Chain A
Amino acid sequence: MSTVATVSSELRDLYAGESAAIERRFAGDGNGRVAVAERTALVDSILLRLWSEVVSSDPAAPKNFALVATGGYGRGWLFPHSDIDLLFLHASGNTEIEFKDRIRRFSQELWDLRMKLSPATRSLAECERLDTNNVEFAISLLDCRYLAGDRELFSRLREKSVPRLIARDAHSLIENLGELTRTRHHKFANTVFHLEPNVKDGPGGLRDYNVANWLALISAMEKLKMWPDPATLLPVSSRRAFEAALDFQMSVRCFLHLRYGRQDNTLSWDAQEEAAARKIGTPDSEIASTADWMRIYYGHVRGVHRVCTQLIEEIPAAWSSLYRQFQGWRTKIPSNDFSVVDGLIFLQQPGALQDPEKLLGLFHFMAEHGLKLSTTTEYKIEQALPALASTPPRGGELWLYLQETLLQPNAADALRAMNALRLLTLLLPELKGIEALVVRDFYHRYTVDEHSFLAIEHLHRLKESKSECDQRFAGLLAELEQPELLYLSLLLHDSGKGAASDSHIEASLDLTDSCAERLDLDAIDRETVRYLVANHLEMSAAMRRDVFDPANVKSLAEKVGAPERLKMLCLMTYADIKAVNPEAMTPWKADNLWQLYIASANYLNRSADERVHTRPRGDAGSANLAHLHSLAAVAGKKVNAFLEGLPQRYLSIHGASDVLAHTEMASRLGQNGVGCSLKQVRHWYELTLLTTDRPFLFASVSGALAAWGMNIVKANAFSNAAGIVVDTFYFTDRFRTLEMNIQEWDRLKKSIASVVRGEGDVARMLRDRMKSEKGNGTKVKIPTQIEFDDRSSAHSTLLQVITQDRPALLYRMCSVMSKNDCNIEIALVETEGQMAIDVFYLTSNGAKLSADRQGALGKSLQAELAVQ
């Protein structure tokens, strides 16, 4: 047997024996830092032994040739199955030829030992050049370490070549490193909160730890022109947390390599359970469950990820005057409390956060402008939290701030920041159970809290999407009356997953109730959020059936009841599926969801005249009725009498408090009486009118409102079996008449009442208004579409008119209908931008419209609407 063969055999035994010993020691103490250092030392000794056999018996020879450890091996971090990065360094090309055979033999022996070698052969001059196609090599030199051969040659590499490379190419290196990191983070959806994270390459993993150190090192070397003290590289505030994270992650990665017997860095569910049971990385902690252990993991990686991404942005920003100018512009964002430097928010007054209003305002500011918190601001927030914890804000004020934040384009980032600082769970303890919670689910990729934030983020991103399909959903989102309730529902929809309950929906509903109480939501808003949380899987379930099946559509539409809820539920389904994993919302699913939505929306519009019968029949209305009766045990008879014959749609639009108020108004109506209520609801005013039915009623009221300069954006008209109509008009006050003059509220109501009684001249009022207004140019031309449908309703002919919105439009259309002897049984009026979309249920002499009458009405309407 040759000497080399004998050595190989000896080294194989040494490598196997020592590797097993390292594994045994790790099994005992779980100390990853020690294990990687031991393996590094073992490999060092094997390489040196081989060097003396294959290259030179003198470890410091030959001249002009050296063996250098680079990358992870250079750092002394050899995990059980890590690659071994080696550099065969030559003084020049001549020595490369001279040692070619010996390098080949040396490498071959290592491969035969089953070591995974990543060798590179370079001259000193080559090491000094930056190859933009292989930036990784230049980066690996930052961790170079002498192993054998010409020590002076190595010194020239470390003390001259690498500093020269950095001095010349620091910017390019940092930019490339930033780009590589961003691409890697993007592959992991830019979040640390994966259910089965990759502890090396995932955001916040060991690679990020290294990137942060490399960035700081390159930046410091560029300034100092020499190697800095490694202990001073990172900000003082980050160092301790960084080292703790490193200890933890080293142990976890060692554990994974040994568990899998290969270089696999995936912290799978099974591995999580075992690691938690063995307290890997956390020998001194009390670990109650795997979820607790994972929370420790997320805590560590979140800190690393944050510093890494911050350095990627901050270091290039410090060079570029243009970038600084841009950031300077951002600092002009008006705020008395905060300043912005390089995209980071700083506090103007350190004590400002003692005021909860300012603290919440900070996150609103962040969500609005897409900024991040500076490290010092985060520190100040942490300092302010104990005081806040004793009397956390709650009630309407908290909801006001929270909803303003939820509505901003970067709400998800603000929520993530609040969550990371434990502020979110302080304000909404209902979310505590899902904080960094891993739930085993084959489809889900993120922790439950991150899933909820992502869902909110996906809705906000809809606006920017160029996809035609996304644009449809973006249109729906823009139409929502209260998108904040949808965002709140998304935040809460899976909150029950952290509870020990068989049904996460039931548990989520309990937490939703508690949260609604905390935020002091009004009854209607509370009901909406509750509804969305309770039914957030309803459309997904309907999508598993035939989305074109009328029975499926009918069943869904009847469960949902109201168009506004349908829109919200559709968007909730979209966001919920999309936040499961990046591939979950396929174009196939998105299209099916849209088809199901439009079919259900059409069903709701075409079935609006199904009547309420106050004897429960187990239909959609009966649940509402039961609820109403429970609220109005005394007034039950009156409520029954009022509701009899009203369309089901009335109950799905109006909440219990509205119905009780309408019942009361109806009971006070005398002969020819008119009940009128006016209130301001968010962005618009709501006028409700109760009176006995009569010709031209809907047209007259529409006209009177138009004459007052009001812009009707929505309206509903219903009537009950006793002939009492309930018309509701939602309008904006174009000239701020009501806002500026409180006495005008009464005048408007009186004016409407007089028009209803036939005392006011609507046509004259409108003429006066039109004279005083100049025509507004329309931005988009909407062609008029008139469509009759005789099939959808048993009692009425449906007329759908889509046309350009304009002042007094509703009055003009309704007048034409009345002149054509058509009675408006139900009106569903909506405006989307400059498009009016109105559906009328018409009868003539108590029956559907004849074909002739439809033709005549269509013509009259076309003629009327042709005139702007």
Chain B
Amino acid sequence: MTKIEAIIQISKLDAVKDALHEIGVEGITVFEARGHGRQKGHTEFYRGREYTVDLIPKAKLEIVLADDMVEKVEQAIVAAARTGKIGDGKIFRSRIDEAIRIRNGDRGDSAL
């Protein structure tokens, strides 16, 4: 099993969710996130005060998948989240040893 963590623009969340749903991904976890890579912060002045945002708001998705789904899911995320501009986000992939469905104790792929 593989865990995919994708950090994407908030505006692309709905599109990514739809794309994942279309290829049969049923479960995702979404977090409110902040951060920056090459896309640095943003400064806005209001009423003489400077409001600097070093960490840009992003959405972070976590999906644990059977290994044969990984490529397909990554492609779906990239296609749905890409604008071609700095700040589109990143996808990270890591190995998962075990998954357990709490309701019935199912393990492995069948727990996903």
Interface size on A, residues (CB 8 A): 25
Q: How far is the CA of A822 from the CA of B11 in the complex (A)?
A: 43
Smallest CB separation, B49 vs chain A (Å): 9
| A interface footprint on B44-63 (CB within 8 Å = 1, 0 otherwise) | 11111001010011000000
Query: Which residues of B sit under 8 angstroms from A547, Cβ to Cβ?
Result: 10, 57
Within 8 Å by CB of B14, from A544, A549, A592, A832, lies A544
Q: Is A850 in contact with chain B by the CB < 8 A criterion?
A: no
Q: Is B64 in contact with chain A by the CB < 8 A criterion?
A: no
| B interface footprint on A822-853 (CB within 8 Å = 1, 0 otherwise) | 00000000001001010000000000000000
Contact assessment for A588 and B47 in the assembled complex, using a CB-CB cutoff below 8 Å: no
Interface centre among B45, B47, B53, B56 (most CB of A within 10 A): B47
Smallest CB separation, B33 vs chain A (Å): 8
Known pairs A546-B9, A548-B56, A592-B57; A602 contacts B44 (CB<8 A): yes
Q: How far is the CA of A543 from the CA of B13 in the complex (A)?
A: 12
| B interface footprint on A600-617 (CB within 8 Å = 1, 0 otherwise) | 011000000000000000
Q: Is A595 in contact with chain B by the CB < 8 A criterion?
A: yes
Contact assessment for B44 and A588 in the assembled complex, using a CB-CB cutoff below 8 Å: no
Contact assessment for B57 and A785 in the assembled complex, using a CB-CB cutoff below 8 Å: no
Smallest CB separation, B55 vs chain A (Å): 10
Smallest CB separation, A707 vs chain B (Å): 28
In the complex, the chain B residue whose C-beta lies closest to that of A783 is B48
Smallest CB separation, A795 vs chain B (Å): 22
In the complex, the chain B residue whose C-beta lies closest to that of A789 is B45
Known pairs A588-B32, A589-B32; A545 contacts B11 (CB<8 A): yes
Q: Is A355 in contact with chain B by the CB < 8 A criterion?
A: no
Smallest CB separation, A655 vs chain B (Å): 26
Q: Is B42 in contact with chain A by the CB < 8 A criterion?
A: yes
Within 8 Å by CB of A595, from B9, B45, B47, B53, lies B53
Query: Which residues of B sit under 8 angstroms from A548, Cβ to Cβ?
Result: 42, 53, 56
| B interface footprint on A568-602 (CB within 8 Å = 1, 0 otherwise) | 00000000000000000010110110110011011
Smallest CB separation, B51 vs chain A (Å): 6
Q: Is B34 in contact with chain A by the CB < 8 A criterion?
A: yes
In the complex, the chain A residue whose C-beta lies closest to that of B56 is A548
Q: Is A34 in contact with chain B by the CB < 8 A criterion?
A: no
Query: Which residues of A sit under 8 angstroms from B14, Cβ to Cβ?
Result: 544
Contact assessment for B48 and A785 in the assembled complex, using a CB-CB cutoff below 8 Å: yes
Query: Which residues of B sit under 8 angstroms from A591, Cβ to Cβ?
Result: 53, 57
Query: Which residues of A sit under 8 angstroms from B9, Cβ to Cβ?
Result: 546
Query: Which residues of B sit under 8 angstroms from A546, Cβ to Cβ?
Result: 9-11
Contact assessment for B47 and A802 in the assembled complex, using a CB-CB cutoff below 8 Å: yes
In the complex, the chain A residue whose C-beta lies closest to that of B51 is A598
Contact assessment for B11 and A549 in the assembled complex, using a CB-CB cutoff below 8 Å: yes
Smallest CB separation, B28 vs chain A (Å): 15
Within 8 Å by CB of A588, from B11, B51, B57, lies B57
Contact assessment for B44 and A598 in the assembled complex, using a CB-CB cutoff below 8 Å: yes
Interface centre among B9, B14, B44, B53 (most CB of A within 10 A): B44
Q: How far is the CA of A599 from the CA of B51 in the complex (A)?
A: 10
Contact assessment for A602 and B45 in the assembled complex, using a CB-CB cutoff below 8 Å: yes
Q: In B1-57, which residues have CB < 8 Å from any A CB?
A: 9-11, 13-14, 32, 34, 42, 44-48, 51, 53, 56-57
Contact assessment for A544 and B11 in the assembled complex, using a CB-CB cutoff below 8 Å: yes
Contact assessment for A599 and B44 in the assembled complex, using a CB-CB cutoff below 8 Å: yes
Smallest CB separation, B60 vs chain A (Å): 11
Query: Which residues of A sit under 8 angstroms from B46, Cβ to Cβ?
Result: 598, 601-602
Smallest CB separation, A73 vs chain B (Å): 32
Q: How far is the CA of A589 from the CA of B10 in the complex (A)?
A: 11
Contact assessment for A588 and B34 in the assembled complex, using a CB-CB cutoff below 8 Å: yes
Q: How far is the CA of A832 from the CA of B13 in the complex (A)?
A: 38
Query: Which residues of B sit under 8 angstroms from A589, Cβ to Cβ?
Result: 32
- Residue contacts A-B, CB under 8 angstroms, 23 given: A544-B14, A545-B11, A546-B11, A547-B10, A548-B42, A548-B53, A548-B56, A549-B11, A552-B11, A588-B32, A589-B32, A595-B42, A595-B51, A598-B44, A601-B46, A602-B44, A602-B45, A785-B48, A802-B48, A835-B47, A835-B48, A837-B47, A837-B48
- Residues of B with Cβ closer than 8 Å to A? 9-11, 13-14, 32, 34, 42, 44-48, 51, 53, 56-57
* 13 new A-B contacts at CB < 8 Å, known A598-B44, A602-B45, A602-B46: A544-B10, A544-B11, A544-B14, A546-B10, A546-B11, A547-B10, A548-B56, A588-B32, A588-B34, A595-B44, A595-B53, A598-B46, A802-B47
